[in-house]
């Protein structure tokens, strides 16, 4: 199913889902993986731990956030698909980022971790059938299907990479 064929895109998550091209979910996953491979790593490395404003996340923290959130969303999606439709995905992203220790790690390691998570996400979604894709649960305050969650994961990455390009690439 293509993104525009999704039924019931929850408000709030539409900001991420609508960033994804109008393609099949597995094409979107593959494209999102390739997008990680073509990042301007040299420029990102030069930026280092600088931030575009005081007290904002570093690029390391942003990529760790993408990885951490994907893990949390996948855990919840698995719960929905396996029958716990009342499971609620809930977390404090700022607390998780603060405790991530991302700035003590090389960015290359964080990106390798994110790529591994994405490949694992793709493999999990390959196990879902049409019925599984329609199963749903609560992400934060909104009911969302497993299929929409896949597009949400991809869109979340797009959102943050766009944010990095717009706010961090210009600070050198």
How far is 37 from 33, CA to CA, in rounded Å? 7
> What does the pLDDT look like over 17-29, one tens digit per residue?
999 999 999 999 9
Average pLDDT over residues 143-159: 97
Determine the pLDDT at residue 66: 98
How far is 2 from 162, CA to CA, in rounded Å? 22
Q: How many CA atoms lie within 13 A of 140 on its CB side?
A: 11
How far is 170 from 25, CA to CA, in rounded Å? 32
- Picking from 167, 145, 153, the residue whose alpha carbon sits closest to that of residue 32 is 153
> What does the pLDDT look like over 74-130, one tens digit per residue?
999 999 999 997 899 999 999 999 999 999 999 999 999 999 999 999 999 999 999
Structural contact between residues 155 and 17, judged by C-beta atoms closer than 8 angstroms: yes
């Amino acid at each position: 199913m293509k993104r525009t064929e999704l039924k019931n895109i929850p408000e709030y998550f539409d900001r991420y889902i609508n960033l994804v091209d109008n393609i099949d979910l597995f094409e979107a996953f593959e494209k999102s993986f390739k997008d990680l491979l073509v990042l301007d790593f040299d420029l990102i490395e030069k930026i280092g731990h600088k931030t575009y404003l005081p007290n904002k996340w570093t690029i390391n923290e942003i990529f760790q956030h993408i990885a951490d959130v994907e893990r949390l969303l996948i855990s919840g999606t698995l719960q929905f698909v396996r029958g716990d439709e009342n499971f609620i995905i809930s977390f404090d992203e700022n607390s998780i980022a603060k405790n991530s220790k991302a700035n003590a790690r090389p960015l290359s390691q964080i990106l390798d971790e994110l790529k591994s998570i994405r490949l694992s996400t793709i493999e999990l979604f390959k196990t879902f059938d049409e019925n599984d894709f329609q199963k749903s649960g609560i992400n934060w305050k909104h009911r969302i299907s497993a299929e929409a969650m896949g597009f949400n994961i991809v869109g979340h990455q797009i959102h943050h990479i766009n944010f990095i390009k717009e706010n961090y690439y210009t600070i050198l």
